[in-house]
């Protein structure tokens, strides 16, 4: 059974570790965090193993780099010398926004398989979207094993590295935008007299159902929108209000701004 290591078990690292547990078992998952109390609490919750950086780097088959982009350089100052002593195959899995595979290879100072991923928050409930791309040292078998380890996190899709930053601004940043829209829908319902708990439930379930309908029918969202809009009806009046508020332009600009910031982070 593969050993899966996580250097960093914050929100995202912890969510991916929980998905890995379902695939390989808690006994084969190892975590480290600079905040020992966080790692210890996570281990008590999930029964995973808490180990130091050296153990994970020397023994785990997949090493997830669960730190922020600006912390990668300092992490590799510790990790790179340990990697030199590694005698068995391993794969680095980076989730750092904006940091290219080439940069990871340069910091690792060794030719090895590298899988760059961009997961999103819903992986924590098994409904995530994980974008991935790999370098030339990553075999098909290594990718297949990785996909198997992450299968309980949600959907996984391969994307070329030159597109992964743009894609992540939809799947990675998008949940925040969706949460804002859900809250706004609920606020509108509350203004119309609906109790808060009911308003939030109906808004969230509506978003879930609409998303599932998009995926399962494969229809263009404009066509599905038109099917809801009866002539001179309530829905088209609401659609008009969204258009008057530049709803679509605001959503497009949110993705573009997130993309620009992602590129900035990758240069630091």
pLDDT in tens, 119-137: 999 999 999 999 999 999 9
Residue-level pLDDT at 68:
86
Lowest-confidence segment of 61-75, 122-136, 177-191, 242-256 by average pLDDT: 61-75
Query: Are 15 and 63 members of one domain?
Result: yes
Containing domain of residue 214, as a range?
A: 174-266
Residues 205 and 104 in one domain: no
Mean pLDDT, rounded, of the chain? 94
pLDDT in the model for residue 131 = 97
Q: CA end-to-end span of the chain, whole Å?
A: 37
Instruction: Check residue 266 and give its pLDDT.
Output: 67
When divided into structural domains, the chain yields a total of: 2
Dist CA 87 CA 90 (whole Å): 9
Average pLDDT score over residue span 12-39: 95
pLDDT at 267 over 80: no
What local confidence, expressed as pLDDT, does residue 78 receive? Answer: 92
Mean pLDDT value across residues 166-182: 95
pLDDT at 14: 94
Residue 85 pLDDT level (bands cut at 50, 70, 90)? confident
Element containing residue 91 per DSSP (H, E):
strand 91-94
Same domain for 132 and 258?
Answer: no
CATH at 236:
1.10.3730.10
Q: Read off φ and ψ for residue 240, nearest 5 degrees.
A: -60, -40
pLDDT in tens, 192-226: 999 999 999 999 999 999 999 999 999 999 999 99
- What is the per-residue pLDDT for 268? 61
Total-model pTM: 0.90
What is the Cα–Cα distance from 163 to 262, expressed in whole angstroms?
A: 12
Tell me whether residue 168 is in a domain. no
Q: Kindly state the helix (H) or strand (E) to which residue 29 belongs, with its residue range.
A: strand 29-32
The CATH number of whichever domain residue 121 belongs to comes to 3.40.50.720
Locus of tokens 């080439």:
102
pLDDT grade for 173, boundaries at 50, 70 and 90: very high
As a whole number, mean pLDDT of residues 57-85 equals 92
**Dihedral sign computed on CA atoms, order 53, 56, 59, 62:** negative
Quick one: residue 193, left, alpha or beta (phi over 0 = left, psi -120 to 50 = alpha)? left
188 shares a domain with 139: no
């Amino acid at each position: 059974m593969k050993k899966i290591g996580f250097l960093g078990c914050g929100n995202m690292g912890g969510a991916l570790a929980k998905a890995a547990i379902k695939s390989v078992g808690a006994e084969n998952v190892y975590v480290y965090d600079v905040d020992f109390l966080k790692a210890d609490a996570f281990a008590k919750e999930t029964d995973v193993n808490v180990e130091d950086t050296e153990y994970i780097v020397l023994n785990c088959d997949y090493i997830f780099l669960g730190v922020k982009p600006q912390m990668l350089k300092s992490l590799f100052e510790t990790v790179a010398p340990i990697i030199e002593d590694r005698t068995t195959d391993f794969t680095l899995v980076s989730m750092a926004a904006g940091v290219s595979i080439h940069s990871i290879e340069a910091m690792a100072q060794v030719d090895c398989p590298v899988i760059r991923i961009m997961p999103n928050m819903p992986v924590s409930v098994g409904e995530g979207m994980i974008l991935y791309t790999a370098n030339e040292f990553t075999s098909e078998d290594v990718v297949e094993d990785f996909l198997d380890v992450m299968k309980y996190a949600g959907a996984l899709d391969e994307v070329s590295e030159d597109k992964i930053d743009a894609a992540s601004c939809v799947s990675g940043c998008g949940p925040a935008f969706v949460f804002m829209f859900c809250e706004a829908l609920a606020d509108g319902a509350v203004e119309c007299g609906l109790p808060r708990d009911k308003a939030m439930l109906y808004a969230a379930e509506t978003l879930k159902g609409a998303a599932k309908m998009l995926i399962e029918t494969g229809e263009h969202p404009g066509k599905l929108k038109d099917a809801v809009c009866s002539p001179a009806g309530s829905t088209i009046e609401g659609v008009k209000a969204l258009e008057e508020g530049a709803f679509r332009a605001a959503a497009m600009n949110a993705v573009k701004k997130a993309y620009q910031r992602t590129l900035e982070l990758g240069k630091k």
